[in-house]
Structure 1
């Protein structure tokens, strides 16, 4: 009787080797094989950060990605990586992007342009850095608006112009990231159903990524079985 070959592990590539990238790479190496997952490669904009990895797992150039036989690519680097390389990656693998944003202590923000200047001169108390339509905020806080952007994609009738964003720097929460989502229905006479959800994610002081985010991302990775070349929001 012929023996059937064991199913092939899904090969996962990681773009970015910061706190979250290191966690996912470690999980794939330690726990991946029994779950049908294998680490294909890790790429980082600063290749020197990969020195601790075996050479076969280091991808020096994203142009070499087609040679890796990767099935799933996880971006945990910077939004510019998805913008510049996402289309090419989707030609060879499923692409899963990380979407998280929250109210943070000032030192946990990664801001651009006028928001960076505004944060630098903010006082010692709670400061609303931005409040308004989401679209103008995205290029000013690309590492801090991911949850908002995911909501805009998930609600196409609102989109990036209809979803409103509020970004707050609060030094009284140095080790928490707080996300509050409010959904309001169409009302009559100023009265409408409103549902508010609040999430508090513990975090190391000054870190951009919350502790629970790592495990949530690992769970999403395990659940992703291929989606026909589309982007998965998690």
Structure 2
């Protein structure tokens, strides 16, 4: 990407969208959601788009709302701008992932996936590229109020119950159950593309932090285990440290010098 001034479009104005806006000093920013009326009290009207198809004058489009937006508008976004997918769980749909890759190549744009709360993603990607990645498993633990689940999985949970394993299986099968809670796992699955979204994952209650435990397996008994403890308020989908990580990913799209590690 060049060093000229960027015009940034942000789709979604939740916590991450608002955080990105506060940090995007000097960039021309446009905002859009499925319901633009919700933005009237938060943003100047000249920055609000009422139709997501109008993101045609931006250099970069950043999605920070829901995987359905990636599915519905992703190819269209890539026909006009570079696209950062803040809901990488959408890419568990293999057809959608291929459509986005094809669109990026066709239109000469770049599809970006931020690391978010994933720790060690570059190392996973290196092992994946070298063919030495044998297995990857991730477990996430959060307080029940931090989950956004379908199917009433937490309807019978009480404070006195303690920990409960909600799911144990592939990321692809978990996504429809917890579309807003699996982006860290999805980012890991993309980094480990040769293993794909069938990678093992699980969601566990109960914790006052967002805890991500990852185990990477390579050849000849090589193993790396990490435990990340991310502070988070009750009810928060996004952990505190994830905001700066996401912002760093957005900055990384625009830098002209890269550090090889």
- Give the TM-score category using the shorter length: 0.7 to 0.9
Q: Which has the larger radius of gyration?
A: 1
Partner of 1:26: 22
Residue 60 of structure 1: CA displacement?
0.8
How many equivalent residue pairs? 200
Q: How many Å separate the matches in 2 of 1:224 and 1:24?
A: 14
Partner of 2:123: none
**Counterpart pick for 1:74 among 31, 51, 62:** 62
Partner of 2:230: 201
Query: Does the residue aligned with 1:143 lie in a helix, a strand or coil?
Result: coil
Matches of residues 1-234 of structure 1 in structure 2 within 5 Å?
Answer: 8-28=4-24, 32-33=25-26, 38-51=27-40, 52-66=42-56, 69-98=57-86, 100=116, 102-113=140-151, 117-123=152-158, 124-161=161-198, 163-170=199-206, 173-174=207-208, 176-186=209-219, 192-225=221-254
CA RMSD of aligned residues (A): 1.8
Query: Does the residue aligned with 2:31 lie in a helix, a strand or coil?
Result: strand
Query: Does the residue aligned with 1:13 lie in a helix, a strand or coil?
Result: strand
Query: Does the residue aligned with 2:214 lie in a helix, a strand or coil?
Result: strand
Stretch moving more, 69-78 or 147-156: 147-156
Query: Does the residue aligned with 1:220 lie in a helix, a strand or coil?
Result: helix
Query: Does the residue aligned with 2:22 lie in a helix, a strand or coil?
Result: helix
Query: Does the residue aligned with 1:107 lie in a helix, a strand or coil?
Result: helix
Residue 186 of structure 1: CA displacement?
4.4
What TM-score comes out, normalization by structure 2 length?
0.72
Q: How many Å separate the matches in 2 of 1:41 and 1:137?
A: 32
Check 1:39–1:168 CA distance in 2 against 1; reply closer, same or farther (3 A cut): farther
Which segments of 5 or more consecutive residues in structure 2 lack a partner in the other structure? 89-115, 118-139, 256-261
Query: Does the residue aligned with 2:194 lie in a helix, a strand or coil?
Result: coil
Residue 156 of structure 1: CA displacement?
2.2
Superposition misfits of 4+ residues, deviation over 6 angstroms: none
